[in-house]
Structures are given as C-alpha cells and as structure tokens.
C-alpha cells in the first residue's frame, strides 16, 4: 500500500512528523521479529524522550538560581552566556535542525522556524532565561504530543498484541512450532487452552469456546462448532482444538482491520483540512506582523528602543505559533477513532466521525442487522402431487449455490447435498431468488415475486402469513412453500430507544416479505418500514430521504446493499469480521454485529466534534488575548509560553479525554 502523508501541521514537514509519531508509537510496540518489548524497555524509551528536557531544565534552574538567589561574582560575562547556551542545546538543536530541514524541503514558514527565530532572538537581546525556557517548554509539549498519540492508539497496539509470533502445526500428527507468518493455507494448527490463534481458519474440532474481546469488544465467550470460521486473535478457552488455516497471515481479518484503522488518518475531516489550509496562510502572515511590530514603531515612537520592540516581536511570534490547533485537532480525531475501536467500532476516516455526529436518519436492513440472520425452517407446505423429499433435495442443491442466510437454513434442515442431482443454467435473479434446470425441467426457488415473474400461478395469499416464505416451482407448476423464521437481536430494542433519545429517525428497508418487516418494525418501534424491496427500490427510498436534506447513515451487510451504501452519507457494515467485502465497502464497521453500537458510534462522533471545537475556541481565545497584550508590551515571554505551549498541553489533555469516556 502506498504511504499517504498527512498534512496537519504547518503544511508539510510538521504534518508528516505527526504521522511518523503515530507510526513510531506502533513500531515501538514490537520489534522487527514481532516480539513484544517488555515493560522496562517502554519506561526506558520514555525516559530517553524526556532526558534532553531534564538536562536543559536542571541547567536552567541552576542558572536562574545563580542569577537571582545566590550571591557570587563569577557567573557573569561569557561564562554566563556559555552556561545558558549549554542549557539551550539539548532542546534547541533538534528544533533548529528541523527548521533547516523544512526550509530545504520547501516549507519555509514552519513551526520549527518560528520557535528558532523567537528563542535565538531572545539570546540576541540578552534574554537568556526566556530563550531557554521557551524552547524547553516547547520540547516538553512535543513529548506530551507524542505520548498523547501513543495513548490514542493504545487499543490498536492491543490488537497488535493479539498476533502471536508462533503457532503449533501438525505434520503427520506430529506437533511442530513455526513462525505464524510461515504457516500456509491448509496447515492444521493445534491450539491449546489459553493460546491465541495466529491465523484465520476453520474449526476442525467438534466445538470450542473463544475469548473474542480484543476483536469485538465482547467479553462473553463465543462458542464455535465444527466448520465455523475462527479468526486470528481469538483465545481458546477450554480444551485443545484444531484449526485448518484458510487465510494467509498477512491477509487475516485482523491484519485488514489494523490496516484500515491505520489508514483512517488519511481521510481527514473538514475541520482538519481547514486548519491545514489556515496554518499555511496564517504562519507567513504572523512572521510579517512580527517584522512590522519590530520595525514600524521606529517611524512613530519618539523614544524607540530596538531591543524593546524586538522583544515584543519575539513574544508575538511565540504566542502566534498555531501548535495548539494543529496538534490537538488531529489528536482529537485520533482519540475518537481510538475510542470507537475500543468499543468494537472501526471508522475508516476522521471525516466519518464528523458525519456520524450529524446523522438525522438511520436507515437499516432487517436481516443480520436488527435480526440475528440465523434462519430456521419452521414448516414445509408442499402439494401432495409432488414427492416432498425429492423436491427438498433439489431445493437444497440449488440453494447451495447461494450464501444467503435462507440458503444456510435450508441446508441445515435438509442436510448434505445429494451429489446425484445435476444443476444446469443456474441463475441468481436479484431480489427474487434462484433459477436452474434439473432433469431438463425448470426449478424456481425464491419469493413470490419470482413466481409472478415467471407467471407461476398459486392459490395462497402470501400476505396472510407473517413468516418469511420461500416459494418453490418445478416444471412450471407451483409446488408449495417453506416458512422461515428469524429472531430479533436482543439489543435491537435498546438500539431503537437510544436512537429515539438522540432525536434520530429510524427507517427499515428490506427485501424480505412486507408482513415480516412490518411485524419487526412495530415490535421495535421503528418509525418507517418498507418490505418486498428490490435493490433499486432501496436506492430510491434512500434518495427520497436525502432529498429532504437529511443526513443518512445506512446499516447493512455492505455487499448486497453496495448501491445504498454508496448513496448514503455514511455506510455502516454489520459483521465486519465475517466478510472481507464488508470491510472494503463500508465507511464504518461494527465488529460484533450488535446494532447497539450504532448509537455509540453516533455519540463518539458527537463527543469528538465537541472536543475539537473546544480546543479551537480555547486556542483562538487565549492567543487573541495574549497577542494583543504582547503587541502592546504588556505580556512577557512567560505569558507567551503559556499562550503557546500551555494552551497546546491543555488541548492535548482535552483531546485524550475521550479515551476515558464510557459510551
């Protein structure tokens, strides 16, 4: 995947440095071999980050003490200057170096240049303590920024932890330990109790219980049975089980999720894009104003003192540095993405956090979204003129060509497919069902719209039966139908109640039978519900809502409903761990299929937007006040430090606050 740069700070160089910090925070978590660093190594790296600032701080405190509190005669002249320069070097040289690098790359007016001019200028007018202090606090602010990014990505690190370095595979019934990345599709993994699964696979044992909390946020154990998919990162809870590898290490669902969340930083919210453009225009203007503050008074002030006005200009430069904005705003969105991931919700970009905050109508599919999507055949009503077992075997063979939950229900009801049944000209008719030729005769299996489409007459009223109906026709004759039942998800009611409390409208669109759709909608209290819809009908319904100037979030499987997902303002996919296509299609993925995560996602979007705007107002307000005071000579370099670094630190702390919130 091509590396995408993010422009969050002063246009280019600083923006990239923020992205690099995010990447570094994840790289520091594991070494090249994939082994976790222990706790002591993390503490050591943090100490190393603070070491230059600690050295600078100690030297500065000693110098201030010798200047103001300890009477002596030797701390003067070049010795005093050299001491302050020594205190400046640990924190100042890296910034000055970055300023030159930025200029070399074409980014002249960077934050690094502003801080370099301000602090070197302070030295030029013999304000040594202020020069060191400004750079010291700036360096500390940068460290806290890095730590804040690491905290915002803590849950992504947790996901990285879920990929074990090694797996035990069986070769000729002999256990052999190899690197997880070397395991091949088809290998059999032996997973002991308490071990994490390294790759996606299919369970070969009769049953096994897994802890899926790191993937889905769900603490309740998930019991899988033979043939079901199990995913990298799941922890085996009980006895030894065997898993057949179905996906390469690099292509696992977990790898895709990690890649998706890391790439989310490339899709920026409008607020971030505005700040990027604002900073590129704002910084050159600030430098120009600083020059004017220093030079223009020469022509109007009688007792003009160059050093005094240069000092004011330097204060102006420090205060005007927009780091509080360009740091805290992307951090606020990183925090929102991190908080969502912690709750089993994956946003593909910070722009979707903004959209979720403004959602007015949640449009949802029924099957697999508000209902379990686990169908069971309730009854078979066939005409006595047909052999029920024979027809069921043909229906089962045809439905084996589909991945729809209804097909799974029929397969579970009938059993294994009869290999003697030969299907010809199999065709899936979107929104209707399946068609094929068996023994030279036409077989139709689908809804009653399929019967109407092929002019098959029937003597029942489908609307009189609440359950989902699967109609069957063979040799141009109506055979009968199967009734299929699906249960409503246990948190579906909570979801609708919370959405209503947020003042959000709810609409259900489904291709399922209208009586079933209305039954579910009435039971849950969904505002509007429409059944018997074809894919194009769903598109038209969403278009109608959008023409009312409402922001729409569509919740579905992300594959069959791709046109609706593309049309809606934000597409939310249920079952992110069950479908590669879902991860690719949707804007937001709910990992554990729980609809109750929808209002949580909306709340996270609202809180993120709230925090971002709090930071913007704080930064602009404080800076505006101190800028006026600085230009008028009423603020010193110390107030400038607070207006710049102090406000940035407050904004950073406010940004990471979302990580602690409970939704």
Q: Is the model's pLDDT at 270 over the cut of 60? A: yes
Retrieve residue 18's tokens: 């923020």
Class of domain 376-485: alpha beta
Q: How many CA atoms lie within 13 A of 465 on its CB side?
A: 20
Q: How confident is the model at residue 126 (pLDDT cuts 50, 70, 90)?
A: confident
What is the DSSP secondary-structure string of 408-435?
HHHHHHH-S--TT--EEEEEEETTTEEE
Q: What is the pLDDT of residue 634?
A: 80
CATH 3.40.50.1000 residue ranges for the chain: 345-371+489-591
Q: Is the model's pLDDT at 573 over the cut of 70? A: yes
Q: What is the pLDDT of residue 596?
A: 93
DSSP code of residue 655: H
Tell me the pLDDT tens digit for each residue of 211-257.
776 566 555 677 888 998 888 878 888 789 999 999 888 777 667 66
Q: How confident is the model at residue 554 (pLDDT cuts 50, 70, 90)?
A: very high
Distance between CA atoms of residues 196 and 278, nearest Å:
47
Q: What is the pLDDT of residue 26?
A: 40
This prediction has a pTM of: 0.66
Distance between CA atoms of residues 593 and 220, nearest Å:
14
Which range among 143-152, 184-193, 341-350, 593-602 shows the weakest confidence by mean pLDDT?
A: 143-152
Which range among 112-121, 255-264, 515-524 shows the weakest confidence by mean pLDDT?
A: 255-264
User: Tokens 């910084």 map to which residue?
Assistant: 283
How many other CB atoms sit within 10 Å of the CB of residue 567?
18
Q: What is the pLDDT of residue 33?
A: 39
Query: Which of the pair, 219 or 7, is modelled with greater confidence?
Result: 219
CATH 3.40.1110.10 residue ranges for the chain: 376-485
Query: Which of the pair, 416 or 318, is modelled with greater confidence?
Result: 416
Q: Report the alpha-carbon angle 92-96-99, nearest 5.
A: 145
Q: Is the model's pLDDT at 9 over the cut of 80? A: no
Percent of the chain whose pLDDT exceeds 70: 82
Q: How confident is the model at residue 3 (pLDDT cuts 50, 70, 90)?
A: very low
For 536, residues 6+ apart whose C-beta sits below 8 A from its C-beta are 563
Q: Is the model's pLDDT at 642 over the cut of 60? A: yes
Which range among 81-85, 204-208, 264-268, 604-608 shows the weakest confidence by mean pLDDT?
A: 264-268
Distance between CA atoms of residues 568 and 545, nearest Å:
10
Distance between CA atoms of residues 519 and 516, nearest Å:
5
Distance between CA atoms of residues 89 and 99, nearest Å:
15
Q: What is the pLDDT of residue 29?
A: 38
User: Tokens 């790296």 map to which residue?
Assistant: 45
User: Tokens 């030894």 map to which residue?
Assistant: 240
Q: What is the pLDDT of residue 487?
A: 83
CATH 2.70.150.10 residue ranges for the chain: 164-260
Distance between CA atoms of residues 557 and 570, nearest Å:
13
What dotted CATH number matches 164-260? 2.70.150.10
Q: How confident is the model at residue 124 (pLDDT cuts 50, 70, 90)?
A: confident
Query: Which of the pair, 454 or 223, is modelled with greater confidence?
Result: 454
CB contact burial 633-660 (16+ within 10 A = b; e otherwise): eebebebbbbbbbbbbbbbbebbbebbe
Find out whether 202 and 228 touch, Cβ atoms under 8 Å: yes
So what's the architecture of 345-371+489-591 in CATH? 3-Layer(aba) Sandwich (3.40)
Q: What is the pLDDT of residue 335?
A: 81
Q: What is the pLDDT of residue 606?
A: 95
Q: What's the farthest any 2 CA atoms get from each other in the chain?
A: 117
Q: Is the model's pLDDT at 23 over the cut of 70? A: no
Mean model confidence pLDDT for the chain? 81
Q: Is the model's pLDDT at 520 over the cut of 80? A: yes
Q: Is the model's pLDDT at 513 over the cut of 90? A: no
| Residue 365 is a catalytic residue | yes
Among candidate residues 187, 365, 587, 592, the one labeled active-site is 365
CB neighbour class for 530 (10 Å; exposed up to 12, middle 13-18, buried from 19): middle
**pLDDT mean over 266-290:** 71
Which range among 278-292, 347-361, 452-466 shows the weakest confidence by mean pLDDT?
A: 278-292
Q: Is the model's pLDDT at 154 over the cut of 80? A: no
């Amino acid at each position: 995947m091509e590396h995408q740069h993010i422009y969050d700070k002063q246009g280019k160089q600083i923006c990239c440095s923020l992205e690099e910090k995010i990447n570094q925070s994840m790289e520091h978590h594991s070494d090249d071999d994939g082994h976790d660093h222990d706790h002591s190594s993390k503490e050591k790296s943090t100490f190393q980050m603070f070491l230059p600032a600690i050295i600078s701080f100690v030297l500065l405190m000693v110098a201030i003490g010798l200047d103001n509190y300890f009477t002596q005669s030797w701390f003067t002249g070049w010795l005093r200057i050299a001491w302050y320069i020594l205190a400046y070097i640990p924190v100042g040289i890296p910034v000055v170096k970055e300023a030159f690098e930025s200029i070399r790359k074409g980014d002249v007016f960077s934050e690094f240049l502003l801080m370099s001019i301000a602090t070197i200028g302070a030295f030029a007018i013999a304000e040594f303590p202020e020069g060191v202090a400004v750079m010291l606090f700036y360096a500390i602010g940068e460290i806290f920024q890095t730590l804040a990014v690491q905290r915002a990505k803590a849950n992504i690190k947790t996901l990285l932890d879920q990929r074990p370095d090694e797996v035990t595979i069986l070769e000729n019934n002999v256990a052999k330990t190899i690197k997880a990345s070397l395991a091949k599709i088809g290998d059999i993994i032996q997973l002991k109790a308490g071990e994490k699964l390294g790759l996606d696979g299919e369970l070969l044992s009769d049953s096994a219980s897994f802890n899926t909390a790191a993937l889905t946020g769900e603490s309740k154990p998930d019991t899988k049975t033979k043939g079901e998919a199990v995913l990298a990162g799941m922890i085996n809870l009980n006895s030894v089980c065997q898993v057949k590898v179905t996906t390469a290490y690099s292509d696992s669902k977990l790898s895709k999720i990690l890649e998706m969340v890391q790439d989310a930083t490339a899709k920026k919210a409008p607020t971030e894009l505005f700040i990027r453009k604002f900073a590129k225009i704002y910084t050159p203007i600030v430098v120009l104003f600083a020059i004017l503050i220093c030079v223009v008074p020469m022509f109007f002030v009688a007792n003009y003192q160059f050093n005094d006005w240069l000092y004011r200009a330097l204060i102006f430069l420090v205060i005007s540095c927009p780091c509080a904005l360009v740091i805290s705003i992307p951090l606020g969105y990183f925090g929102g993405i991190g908080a969502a991931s912690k709750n089993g919700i994956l946003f593909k970009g910070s722009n979707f956090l903004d959209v979720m905050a403004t959602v007015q109508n949640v449009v949802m599919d029924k099957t697999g979204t508000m209902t379990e999507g686990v169908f069971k055949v309730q009854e078979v009503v066939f005409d006595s003129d047909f052999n029920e077992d024979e027809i069921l075997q043909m229906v089962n063979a045809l439905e084996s060509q589909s991945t729809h939950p209804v097909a799974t229900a029929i397969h579970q009801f009938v059993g294994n497919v009869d290999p003697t049944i030969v299907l010809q000209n199999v065709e899936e008719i979107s929104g209707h069902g399946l068609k094929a030729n068996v023994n030279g005769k036409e077989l139709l299996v689908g809804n009653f719209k399929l019967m109407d489409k092929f002019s098959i007459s029937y003597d029942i009223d489908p609307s009189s039966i609440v359950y989902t109906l699967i109609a069957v026709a063979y040799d141009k004759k109506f055979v009968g139908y199967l009734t299929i039942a699906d249960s409503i998800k246990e948190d579906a009611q909570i979801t609708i109640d919370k959405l209503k409390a947020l003042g959000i409208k709810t609409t259900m669109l489904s291709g399922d039978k209208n009586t079933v759709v209305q039954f579910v909608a009435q039971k849950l209290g969904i505002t509007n519900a429409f059944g018997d819809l074809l894919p194009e009908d769903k598109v038209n319904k969403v278009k109608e809502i959008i023409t009312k100037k409402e922001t729409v979030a569509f919740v579905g499987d992300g594959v069959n409903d791709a046109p609706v997902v593309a049309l809606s303002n934000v597409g939310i996919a249920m079952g992110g761990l069950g479908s590669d296509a879902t991860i690719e299609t949707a804007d937001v993925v709910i990992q554990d299929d729980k609809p109750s995560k929808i209002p949580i996602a909306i709340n996270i979007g609202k809180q993120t937007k709230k925090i971002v705007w709090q930071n913007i107002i704080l930064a602009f307000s404080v800076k505006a006040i101190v800028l006026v005071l600085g230009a008028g000579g009423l603020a010193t370099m110390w107030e400038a430090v607070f207006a710049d670094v102090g406000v940035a630190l407050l904004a950073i702390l406010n940004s990471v606050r979302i990580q602690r919130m409970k939704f």
